[in-house]
Structure formats: structure tokens, C-alpha cells
């Protein structure tokens, strides 16, 4: 099924390969393409007249990004304030920033806490705050990239098509396998699937125009095909995640693994990391006892296929298993001292996995099957050649 490269040799030969922080060369776009990117930006940042916009930033964010958001707020008659934290790595909002957030109606954030902190979740649920997470918009020059101008309408249709691949009724098992020996299983209840489908991102709503929404900009990081939100982030709920992950690569490592470690899950937690390689030792030192915080799958076909920094790949069908360990990794602190993620986090990456949900296949050998859904193809045809738009992955 897969018609694009996915081997370790392909990864190493690619100009987009990035597992550690390094500058990315960006070629200036034509005026036409640049305007298309700006149109996406203005639509995603659906600030309303009278909104109070709060922006949570960090010292390494391009200040032009702050000016861009402030400019939209000013142009639309909204008030604006920004708060610079020490870094992006907060897992909880510090007390001094909470009062600022309480007043907001629209929040733009670089902080990791945005999705996981119960305080942030509560502000969206109880106050209807609209949130935009900008993990993938840290430099304004990204407006010149293909992923910035890829139409958000196609991303939304693609996400809805992926949702339709899940079984309609009853419980089912999600199973992830790959050629290295990964065999990982997630029991889904009907309630988990229904909770998933109420999320604005799973409904293909990638613009922050809906009260209580949480979206990513740029619209590259698709909704997670599994995350604890599906059980309400209740730490006492046991899902039953079990099995083996033999990742092809991981964020924080310069190149894919020659001898992939074997990460073993039992009863929702990492119980062991098998292997004699240095990478296995590094992982063993900090993720044993950790939990799966997300199983992510990109949904933007123009996101660079093999760029996994800072939070896993955003290319359709490429998976990242986001595991939070019980303590920080000294290795990650040395390798990525200014990383945008907390040093307890680890994204294990697979480009060639097969994912089934009950009797349905979501991903086959690294290819997201919703790319060929008739509704997706028809939507893409309004913007150009569907084959080029949906399957012309930058590698």
C-alpha cells in the first residue's frame, strides 16, 4: 500500500530529517503561496471584536509571532496581553499567570501545560475559552512553507475521514504493528470513541471559532488517535494498554535506531525497556513507570515527512507514542537543553506502522488510508491535483 520511502536509509538520505534542534532552511514563497498561508493564519486565529487575548510565550519564541497575533487582535477590536514564562516546559500554569488567564476569552500558547493542566482544561470547558497551541509556529518565516499554505479545509476533511474509519458501534481493540516487531494494543470502549468524536479537532474544526475549542497552528498535528482525554484524563481509569513498541526513531536522537529498543507496556504503564544498545539504556533510565500521554498521527500531507523535532512527525500515517516518564532524563537535558517539551517526555516514532481498529484499517504500512477517502479527494480537487496535494509528501 505504501508508495513513499520509510526505511532508515530513506530517513538518513532525506533533507528534511531532524531529530535534534537545528535551524531549518526555508525558501521564500511566491506572493501567491505566501498569501495562501496568511489566509490560513487569519482564519485559524478567529479572534472576535471584544475578545480579550492572552498569549503565553517563552524567551525563545520569535517576537514577530507575538506581533502577528497582537496585530490580528488590534485589527479586530480585541484587547491583548502577553506573559513570558521561563520556558515552554510548564506542566502546570504557575500561580502568577492564572489571574491573567482567568480574564481571557482567547488564548495563544507555547506552553506544554495547555493541553494537560486541569486548570487549562477547566477554562475551556467552563468559560468557553478558545485556545490555539503554537508548538509548530515558533518562527514567522514558517509562513513560507508548504505546510503553512496547505488548506485547512482539506486537513479538516481528512480528519473527519479518519474518524469514519473507527468502528461505529460497541467496544473494539486498536492494534499497532510494524516490521520491527511492534505489537501494541489499546482496548476502546464505545464511550471512549464517542468522547473522541465530540472533540472539535476530531470533527475537523481547525479554526478557533468555537467556544471551548483547542486547536493547533499550524494545522499539522492531527488529533491523537488515542489520548487520555478519551477517558476524561481520569488517572484512576485503567484502559488496559499493553504490548511492545519497537520504535524506528525518537525525538532527541540524531538518527533512527540501528537496534531498536523494545518498550514493554503492561496495565497502562511502561514496565521494561529491553535491549543492550545505548538508546535502550537512555530510555530505560527515565520512561520505566511512565504512561502513554498520546498516540499522535499527523494530518498535513505537506509537513516534512522525516522532521520529528520538537514533538514527533506531522506527516499523515507517521506515528508518535508520547510517553511521560516519572522523572527527567539527564540525557535529554544535555541533548536538548532548550527543548519545547518537558524533559520527562519522550516521543517514540514509527513511519511504517499498520493500525487497525476492530476490523477496520486506519493506517497500512505508514499510509493513512483516509487520504484516499472520496470526500477527501473531492475536497482536495477544488484546490489542485488531489494526488499531488494528498500523496506528494515532502521527503
Is the pTM higher than 0.85? yes
Distance CA 156, CA 201 (A): 8
Q: For the chain, what's the residue count?
A: 395
Q: What pLDDT is recorded for position 14?
A: 93
In a domain, 46, yes or no: yes
One pLDDT digit (tens) per residue for the chain, 395 residues: 456 778 999 999 999 899 999 999 999 999 999 999 999 999 999 999 999 999 999 999 999 999 999 999 999 999 999 999 999 999 999 999 999 999 999 999 999 999 889 999 999 999 999 999 999 999 999 999 999 999 999 999 999 999 999 999 999 999 999 999 999 999 999 999 999 999 999 999 999 999 999 999 997 777 899 998 898 877 778 999 999 999 999 999 999 999 999 999 999 999 999 999 999 999 999 999 999 999 999 999 999 999 999 999 999 999 999 999 999 999 999 999 999 999 999 999 999 999 999 999 999 999 999 999 999 999 999 999 999 999 999 88
* CATH number of the domain bearing residue 77: 3.40.50.2300
DSSP assigned state of 18: B
Q: How far is CA 101 from CA 11, 55, 81, 206, in A?
A: 41, 9, 10, 22
pLDDT at 3: 60
240 and 110 part of one domain? no
Q: 52-57 and 106-109 as β-strands: parallel, antiparallel, unpaired?
A: parallel
Contacts of 343 (CB under 8 A, 6+ apart): 89, 328, 329, 332, 333, 336
Q: What distances in angstroms separate CA 103 from CA 81, 128, 301, one per listed residue?
A: 10, 12, 37
pLDDT at residue 236 in the model:
79
Looking at the domain assignment, is residue 248 inside a domain? yes
pLDDT of residue 1: 47
**Is 204 inside any structural domain?**
no
Instruction: Write down the pLDDT at residue 235.
Output: 75
pLDDT at 234: 77
Query: What domain range includes position 130?
Result: 31-144
253 and 331 part of one domain:
yes
Residues 107, 157: one domain? no
Task: Say whether both 125 and 252 belong to one domain.
Answer: no
Determine, yes or no, domain membership for 209.
Answer: no
**Quick one: pLDDT at residue 6?**
87
Helix (H) or strand (E) holding 319: strand 319-324
User: 319: closest CA among 287, 345, 351?
Assistant: 351
Q: Is 214 within a domain?
A: no
193 and 111 in a common domain = no
> What is the Cα 346 distance to its own chain's centre?
13
- Whether 59 is in a domain gets the answer yes
Cβ-contact 322, 296 below 8 angstroms: yes
- Same domain membership, residue 163 and residue 133: no
- Whether 19 and 251 have beta carbons less than 8 Å apart is answered as yes
210 in any annotated domain: no
Sign of torsion over alpha carbons 103, 104, 109, 115: positive
Q: Select from 144, 173, 191 the last residue of a domain.
A: 144
Number of domains in the chain: 2
And the C-alpha cell for 53? 487575548
Note whether 17 and 37 are same-domain residues: no
Q: What is the DSSP letter of 235?
A: T
Amino acid at each position: 500500500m505504501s508508495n513513499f520511502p520509510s526505511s532508515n536509509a530513506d530517513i538518513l538520505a532525506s533533507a528534511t530529517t531532524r531529530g535534534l534542534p537545528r535551524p531549518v532552511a526555508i525558501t521564500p514563497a511566491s506572493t501567491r503561496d505566501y498569501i495562501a498561508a496568511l489566509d490560513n493564519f487569519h482564519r485559524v486565529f478567529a479572534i472576535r471584536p471584544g475578545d480579550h487575548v492572552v498569549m503565553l510565550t517563552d524567551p525563545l519564541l520569535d517576537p514577530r509571532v507575538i506581533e502577528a497575533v497582537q496585530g490580528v487582535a488590534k485589527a479586530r477590536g480585541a484587547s491583548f496581553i502577553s506573559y513570558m514564562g521561563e520556558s515552554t516546559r510548564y506542566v502546570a500554569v504557575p500561580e502568577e499567570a492564572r489571574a491573567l488567564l482567568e480574564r481571557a476569552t482567547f488564548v495563544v500558547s507555547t506552553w506544554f501545560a495547555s493541553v494537560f493542566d486541569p486548570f487549562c482544561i477547566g477554562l475551556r470547558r467552563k468559560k468557553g475559552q478558545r485556545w490555539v497551541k503554537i508548538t509548530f509556529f515558533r518562527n514567522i518565516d514558517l509562513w513560507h512553507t508548504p505546510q503553512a499554505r496547505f488548506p485547512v479545509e482539506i486537513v479538516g476533511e481528512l480528519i473527519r475521514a479518519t474518524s469514519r474509519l473507527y468502528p461505529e458501534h460497541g467496544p473494539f481493540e486498536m492494534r499497532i504493528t510494524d516490521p520491527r516487531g511492534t505489537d501494541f494494543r489499546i482496548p476502546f470502549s464505545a464511550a471512549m470513541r464517542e468522547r473522541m468524536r465530540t472533540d472539535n479537532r476530531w470533527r475537523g474544526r481547525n479554526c478557533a471559532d468555537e467556544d471551548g475549542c483547542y486547536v493547533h497552528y499550524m494545522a499539522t498535528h492531527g488529533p491523537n488517535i488515542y489520548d487520555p482525554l478519551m477517558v476524561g484524563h481520569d488517572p484512576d481509569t485503567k484502559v488496559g494498554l499493553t504490548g511492545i513498541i519497537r520504535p524506528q526513531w525518537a525525538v532527541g536522537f540524531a538518527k533512527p535506531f540501528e537496534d531498536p529498543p523494545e518498550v514493554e507496556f503492561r496495565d497502562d504503564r511502561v514496565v521494561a525497556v529491553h535491549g543492550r544498545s545505548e538508546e535502550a539504556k537512555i530510555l530505560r533510565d527515565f520512561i520505566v513507570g511512565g504512561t502513554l500521554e498520546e498516540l499522535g498521527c499527523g494530518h498535513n500531507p505537506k509537513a516534512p515527512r522525516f522532521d520529528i523535532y520538537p514533538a514527533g512527525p506531522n506527516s499523515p500515517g507517521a506515528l508518535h507514542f508520547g510517553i511521560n516518564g516519572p522523572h527527567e532524563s539527564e540525557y535529554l537535558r544535555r541533548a536538548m537543553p532548550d527543548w519545547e517539551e518537558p524533559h520527562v517526555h519522550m516521543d517514540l516514532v514509527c513511519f511504517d506502522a499498520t493500525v487497525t481498529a476492530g476490523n477496520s484499517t486506519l493506517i497500512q504500512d505508514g499510509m493513512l488510508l483516509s487520504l484516499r477517502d472520496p470526500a477527501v479527494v473531492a475536497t482536495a480537487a477544488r484546490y489542485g491535483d488531489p494526488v499531488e496535494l494528498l500523496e506528494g509528501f515532502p521527503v
